[in-house]
Amino acid sequence: MQNLDAYLADVPDYRKVVLTRLRELCRAELEGFAEVMAYGMPTYQRDGVAEIAFASQKQYLSFYLFRGDVRDAFAERPAGQSMGMGKSCLRFRRPGSVDLDLVSDLLRATATTSGPAAQ
């Protein structure tokens, strides 16, 4: 099983900077969460439940937000951004298009939302 440092070492250099920044933001905002590799990607769990993850995919970078309650609260925010929005993830075609302010806000909201992670 790959660890997170090895995962980041294996991504292309042009993606490494933003993925490293995503990791830094997760570590800063998600106090009390466990940083693990799950499903082949960096994942942040609270009480053994995955709430945040990110990944370098073939065509894009993905930021997974598994809390439906937080997703719903930010439903309008990604509108007009240069990204795709899936059921539980934001997809960015270019590393430079990752909206780090939005990610920070999503992380803060996740950290302060209690109760079961409503998928």
Residue 37 sits in a domain whose CATH number is 3.90.1150.200
Residue with tokens 């660890």: 3
Domain hosting residue 100, numbered range: 4-112
pLDDT digits (tens, 9 = 90+) for 101-116: 989 999 999 999 887 6
The residue among 117, 6, 116 whose CA lies nearest residue 64 is 117
The residue among 80, 45, 82 whose CA lies nearest residue 61 is 82
Evaluate whether residue 117 is within a structural domain: no
d(C-alpha 87, C-alpha 91), whole Å: 11
Higher pLDDT, 83 or 50: 50
CB-based contacts of 70, cutoff 8 Å, min separation 6: 106, 109, 110, 113
Average pLDDT over every residue of 71-96: 69
d(C-alpha 40, C-alpha 6), whole Å: 11
Evaluate whether residue 22 is within a structural domain: yes
pLDDT at 81 over 90: no
Res. 58 pLDDT band, cuts 50 70 90: confident
- Write down the pLDDT at residue 35: 96
**Number of structural domains in the chain:** 1
The residue among 103, 86, 88 whose CA lies nearest residue 22 is 103
Evaluate whether residue 82 is within a structural domain: yes
The residue among 87, 111, 114, 84 whose CA lies nearest residue 98 is 84
* Single-letter code of the amino acid located at 3: N
- Write down the pLDDT at residue 82: 41
Q: What is the pTM of this model?
A: 0.88
pLDDT at 118 over 70: no
- For 65, phi then psi, to 5°, come to -120, 105
Average pLDDT over every residue of 34-54: 94
